Chains A and B, each alone.
Chain A
Amino acid sequence: MTSNNLKNRMIDYLAGQLTCKAVTEAITDYLEGNLGFVEQVRFQMHLGFCRGCRRYLRQMRLMLRTFGTLPMEPIPPAVRNELLQRFRTWKARSQT
């Protein structure tokens, strides 16, 4: 067997069996660091070859990054006042 042949077989072994569909289903495991070593190499090899999956991963990452920085909803004044009122009552009660 030539070394080229061997190399191709290695690539097939690592990247060949993973479909794009499987990548989209394994993506959370990948992002959570839950893939085993071989699975992870296979996943990354696939990404290396596949523009579609790179885009998919990118979309996911961008979505998550943005979700982490969503603006906080302001507290409506009525709710805020009620909460403060309760704090005061609680404080008065706990001091007696």
Chain B
Amino acid sequence: MTFVSSHAVAEEVVQETWIGVLEGIGRFEGRSSLKTWIFRILTNQAKTRGMRERRNSPFSPLGHSREEPEAPAVDPSLFHTSGYWVDHWNTLPRYWDDETPERLFLSKEGLAQIEKAMSALPPTQRQVMTLRDIEGLTAVDVCNILSIGETNQRVLLHRARSHVRRVLEKYFETGDSQI
């Protein structure tokens, strides 16, 4: 995920996680879902690994990248900037019909767009959005796994979703004409 520097290390972490699951399954008490429990092992492995990596290299590959300064959910130029309608839309968002995102996601290029949008996110935003929206975990589970507070979780999720939506909308506007 986002704790370690390379794909190879990430694979290694996943392998270790599965062994960890095998060894620990007897201690699984069913207090969380199995999925959450496995993610927690994965996260712990990755964090340990990330720390070890950082100790071994003079320049930390990830550093502790700071979260981006707060960006608005929507490009401010889409709103009226003055007058009675200030902060209301001056350019309406596009209408997406039921099939719009499906069409995007079914194409290779579309999937690549999503991946690009997600990987441009600051690490914790990416983690939260991946666990919530792709893996389908609950807010409580995600707070547990990442050891973050409820409010923080929501802020990170909000920024991540807003950013990804922006990227996708832009893609629909400039990209494939049949969408």
Question: What is the size category of the interface that chain B forms with chain A?
Answer: 35 or more
Verify if A65 is at the interface (C-beta below 8 Å from B).
Answer: yes
Contact status of A63 and B168, CB under 8 A, knowing A19-B88, A55-B95, A56-B93: yes
Selected contact of B102 from candidates A66, A79, A83, CB within 8 Å: A66
Contact assessment for A90 and B22 in the assembled complex, using a CB-CB cutoff below 8 Å: yes
Whether B161 pairs with A79 at a CB distance below 8 angstroms is no
Taking CB atoms and an 8 Å cut-off, the chain B residues in 127-179 that contact chain A are 133-134, 136, 139, 154, 157-158, 161-162, 164-165, 168-169
In the complex, identify which listed stretch (B33-41, B42-50, B60-68, B71-79) lies at the interface while the others stay far away.
B71-79
Find out whether the CB atom of B154 lies under 8 angstroms from the CB atom of A29: yes
Interface residue from B72, B76, B101, B162 paired with A62 (Cβ < 8 Å): B101
| B15 on interface, CB distance cutoff 8 Å | yes
With A19-B86, A51-B92 as known contacts, state yes or no: A28 contacts B15, CB within 8 Å: no
Chain A facing B: main interface SS: helix
Instruction: Report chain B residues within 8 Å CB of A90.
Output: 19, 22-23
Q: Are A87 and B101 in contact, CB atoms less than 8 angstroms apart?
A: no
Contact: B158 with A55, CB < 8 Å?
no
- State A87–B136 Cα separation when bound (angstroms): 27
Give the interface of B toward A (CB within 8 A): 11, 15, 18-19, 22-23, 72-74, 76, 79, 86-89, 92-96, 98, 100-102, 104-105, 111, 114, 133-134, 136, 139, 154, 157-158, 161-162, 164-165, 168-169
6 nearest A-B pairs in the assembled complex, by CB-CB distance = A19-B87, A52-B89, A28-B158, A66-B101, A21-B87, A52-B92
Beyond the given A19-B87, A56-B74, A63-B164, please list 8 additional residue pairs across the A-B interface where CB-CB is below 8 A.
A19-B79, A22-B87, A32-B139, A50-B89, A55-B93, A65-B101, A68-B136, A87-B19
